[in-house]
Amino acid sequence: MTVLLSGSTGFLGSHLLKFFIEKGYTVVALKRSTSDTFRIKDYLDKIHCYDSDKIDLSEIFQNHIIDVVINTVTNYGRKDTKPSLIVETNLLFGLKLLEESLHVKVKAFINTDTLLDKNITMYALSKNQLVDWMKFLSSSDTKMINVKIEHMYGVKDDENKFIYWFIHQLKQNVEKIDLTSGTQKRDFIYISDIVNAYEIILKNMNCFSSFEEFELGTGESIEVRQFVNQIVREFKRKKDISTKLNFGAIPYRENENMMMQANISKLEQLGWQPKVVIEDGIKRILQDIE
């Protein structure tokens, strides 16, 4: 099977790329010319890699017979990112990729989405808009599959994301870390469980209707405060620290969703189950960044 994977240097994309190569898939990888390839450097000689900002997407589909397209490209809209840039990445690029996929009639177009309500952030809104186009353009020739992921985490995540940032603060034994009250609940799912879910979806795609949607998490939620305290407990097994966690110092963002939990029943029906518990997931991250 030949898979075209967008966002191949990102957190999720890189883990999928490694998995597909190890499983014997042919991988056509898309990245930006400015992307850091540190996550996939050991696999660059095993893939067909294209800079999506330097080549027309149609040319890639002419060069390869693509069976499945997996879109993991994401702009989270951090650091006052302009709405137009978020739309360009999350909607317009995805729509162009979708157009080319439909033109050559790939077997499936799998999109990576979020469980966030579209009114929470510009990121969530733009992702939701691409899904609307997937539904509108769905056909019997190409299966449209949307995967709504809850809070994924794991080794080699972005350094500027909360978990890695928080751990680095602990490593520096800073005096205090200001946090929200942490009573909001999230469904934390480890990256390897996410990759395994994508494999299950690929194996069963021929049984799906023209449009299918899956929620992806563990099916259980815990308070962010509990997750943070678990990181501290695991960290203290290796190093004594005096850092104070200042819960409640930061207000919740406007429209904060206080309860998020994936309904994984559809994936369970396909035989998938999450395997990595939070304690083990945190241990793997701490071992990776030692």
Domains along the chain?
A: 2-149 (3.40.50.720)
**Average pLDDT for 235-248:** 96
Which active-site residues does the annotation give?
123
**Average pLDDT for 39-59:** 97
**Average pLDDT for 95-122:** 96
**What is the per-residue pLDDT for 254?**
85
Name all contacts of 36-42 with Cβ < 8 Å and 24+ positions apart: 36/9, 37/9, 39/9, 39/10, 39/11, 39/14, 39/156, 40/8, 40/9, 40/14
pLDDT band at 78 (very low <50, low <70, confident <90, very high): confident
Closest among 159, 243, 149 to 187, alpha carbons compared: 149
pLDDT band at 140 (very low <50, low <70, confident <90, very high): confident
**What is the per-residue pLDDT for 79?**
74
**Average pLDDT for 133-147:** 94
pLDDT band at 178 (very low <50, low <70, confident <90, very high): very high
**Average pLDDT for 190-209:** 97
In the predicted structure, residue 217 carries a pLDDT above the cut 80 = yes
> E strands of 102-242, at which residues?
108-114, 143-149, 151-153, 176-179, 185-186, 188-190, 211-216, 222-223
In the predicted structure, residue 290 carries a pLDDT above the cut 80 = no
**Average pLDDT for 246-251:** 97
For the chain, the average pLDDT equals: 96
Q: Cα separation of 164 and 289, whole Å?
A: 9
> E strands of the chain, at which residues?
2-6, 26-31, 48-51, 68-71, 108-114, 143-149, 151-153, 176-179, 185-186, 188-190, 211-216, 222-223, 244-247
pLDDT band at 174 (very low <50, low <70, confident <90, very high): very high
In the predicted structure, residue 1 carries a pLDDT above the cut 90 = yes
**Average pLDDT for 256-269:** 96
**What is the per-residue pLDDT for 181?**
97
In the predicted structure, residue 50 carries a pLDDT above the cut 80 = yes
Provide the whole-model pTM: 0.96
**What is the per-residue pLDDT for 98?**
98
In the predicted structure, residue 102 carries a pLDDT above the cut 90 = yes
Which one has a higher pLDDT value, 79 or 179? Answer: 179
**What is the per-residue pLDDT for 12?**
98
